[in-house]
Amino acid sequence: VWDKRTGEPLYDCILWHDARTATTVSALADELGGQDALRATCGLPLSTYFSGVKLRWLLETVPAVKEGFESGTALVGTVDSWLAWNLTGGAGGRATRHVSDVTNASRTMLMDLTTCGWDGGLVRALGVGAAEGALPTIVSCAEEIGRVDGGPLHGVPLTGMIGDQQAAMVGQRCFGVGEAKITYGTGAFMLVNSGGAPVPSSHGLLSTALYRFGASAPTQYALEGAVASCAVGINWFKDSLGMIGTAPEISSLAAQVPEGTEGLVFVPAFGGLLAPHWRDDARATLVGLTLAHDKRHVARAVLEGIAHQAKEVTVCMAADTGAALTGLRVDGGVALSDELLQYQADLCGIAVQRPRDVETTALGAAIAAGLGAGVWSSIADIPSSGDDIERTFEPAICEEERTARCASWQKAVESSFGWARE
């Protein structure tokens, strides 16, 4: 939230991992009739994850924010809006644009997923009516949004705007219904292209906009399973425990116990669990410890914890779509871990494909900008990703072993519930 007269923020940017809104979420769930009270309209459950709840918290907690909205001097948006507003002129600019694209807007809990417009009912339900006039205009992911005002790029058009995980899907060229990818970054995010209409989830996934390439183009949708902890858990192992000096070393340690964790299971619920459990009260749990375990087993358990969470999401996706995944594309910095991807293939029972360049989010943003600038006239003109695969990981364990590992994981997940204090 910032002052449109000066461009100065009225409070620090609140990140998606921030769980200070847990009490707000609980109060809203009680008030509205449960965690899924708004899901039919916005596709999302009530959670600390989404910015609409964070906006409610700001209104209740930060007087300057409330005063700014009431006086009409404040604007609100996700980071895409903030960047576009500043790039196109900011305070005092002649053609400043306050915009957000359909993918980022779909993650606020304030957008109707079918109409792709701000919904007054959602705004009122979340108690953020004071900010309704400060919301950005929703645009597509590929069109001329505005032009850079000032600096060495003065006059350059902004032609692409797309959310992080949606950009990774585009970078992987997941344009066909049923095509899926998982990005291993701070968290782990798995999306499957669900077609030209929102697909409701009854298994804890998110219904979200995937892309809209052009102001008059139709919107494509996806189902997403969001896992809160991926690199977060690895960094905890490195920085907080001091077990390794660099993040890649965790894979080398894990590889030293090829026989497995010997019963050790790690649930990385540092700030709760997202899909498919949506338990803000869960906390990270390491179970099955014996005196025979050492840091090598913990390292493997940390990586397997990431893979187990992704496995849960694949099961939910199959249940929601009625079709099991036949393969999985991966990207993100943590996808460079051979050990993690082998565990993923083992637990999912499907092939896992890693591209030569794992930073596909940047590629997807470039593709969106290219479509908006007319470099390509449609997605049919974009080169395929078929030649980009660097390595394929095939399952190496039997179904009986897979079932046993997943059963142990479920027991560990259940033991992680109920630890957060109010």
Grouping H, G, I as helix, E, B as strand and the rest as coil, residue 117 is: strand
Q: Kindly state the average pLDDT of the residues 320-333.
A: 88
Peptide bond into 45 cis (omega under 30): no
If 0-12 CB within 10 Å is exposed, 13-18 middle and 19+ buried, where does residue 113 land?
Answer: buried
Output phi, psi for 301, to 5 deg: -65, -35
Is the separation of the CB atoms in 210 and 175 below 8 Å? Answer: no
Residue 26 structure tokens: 């609980």
pLDDT tens, residue by residue, 152-165: 999 999 999 999 99
Give the DSSP H or E segment for 409. Answer: helix 399-415
Residue 230 structure tokens: 């991926």
185-218 burial, b for 16+ CB within 10 Å, e for fewer? bbbbbbbbbbeeebbebebbbbbbbbbbbeeeee
Average pLDDT, rounded, for the chain: 95
Q: What is the DSSP letter of 147?
A: E
C-alpha–C-alpha distance, residues 364 and 85, integer Å? 22
At position 157, the amino acid (one-letter code) is P
Q: Residue 284 pLDDT > 70, yes or no?
A: yes
At position 171, the amino acid (one-letter code) is G
Residue 242 structure tokens: 């001091």
Q: Residue 324 pLDDT > 90, yes or no?
A: no
Output phi, psi for 339, to 5 deg: -65, -45
Bridge partners (DSSP) listed for residue 389: 355
Q: What local confidence, expressed as pLDDT, does residue 386 receive? A: 62
Q: Residue 376 pLDDT > 90, yes or no?
A: yes
Beta carbons within 10 angstroms of residue 322's beta carbon:
6
Q: What string of DSSP letters covers 269-331?
A: -BTBB-TTT-BTT---EEE---TT--HHHHHHHHHHHHHHHHHHHHHHHHHHHSS--SEEEEE
Report the predicted TM-score, pTM, of the whole model to 2 decimal places.
0.89
If pLDDT is split at 50, 70 and 90, which confidence band does 275 have?
very high
Instruction: Classify the phi-psi angles of 155: left when phi > 0, otherwise alpha if psi is within -120 to 50, otherwise beta.
Output: left
C-alpha–C-alpha distance, residues 116 and 114, integer Å? 6
Q: What string of DSSP letters covers 336-369?
A: G-HHHHHHHHHHHTSEEEEES---HHHHHHHHHH
Q: What local confidence, expressed as pLDDT, does residue 17 receive? A: 85
At position 319, the amino acid (one-letter code) is A
Grouping H, G, I as helix, E, B as strand and the rest as coil, residue 37 is: coil
C-alpha–C-alpha distance, residues 76 and 9, integer Å? 10
Is the separation of the CB atoms in 207 and 221 below 8 Å? Answer: yes
Grouping H, G, I as helix, E, B as strand and the rest as coil, residue 229 is: coil
pLDDT tens, residue by residue, 23-54: 999 999 999 999 999 999 999 999 999 999 99
C-alpha–C-alpha distance, residues 41 and 36, integer Å? 10
If 0-12 CB within 10 Å is exposed, 13-18 middle and 19+ buried, where does residue 398 land?
Answer: exposed
Output phi, psi for 256, to 5 deg: -80, -5
Length of the chain: 422
Q: Residue 412 pLDDT > 60, yes or no?
A: yes
Q: Residue 422 pLDDT > 90, yes or no?
A: no
Q: What local confidence, expressed as pLDDT, does residue 3 receive? A: 98
C-alpha–C-alpha distance, residues 52 and 41, integer Å? 14
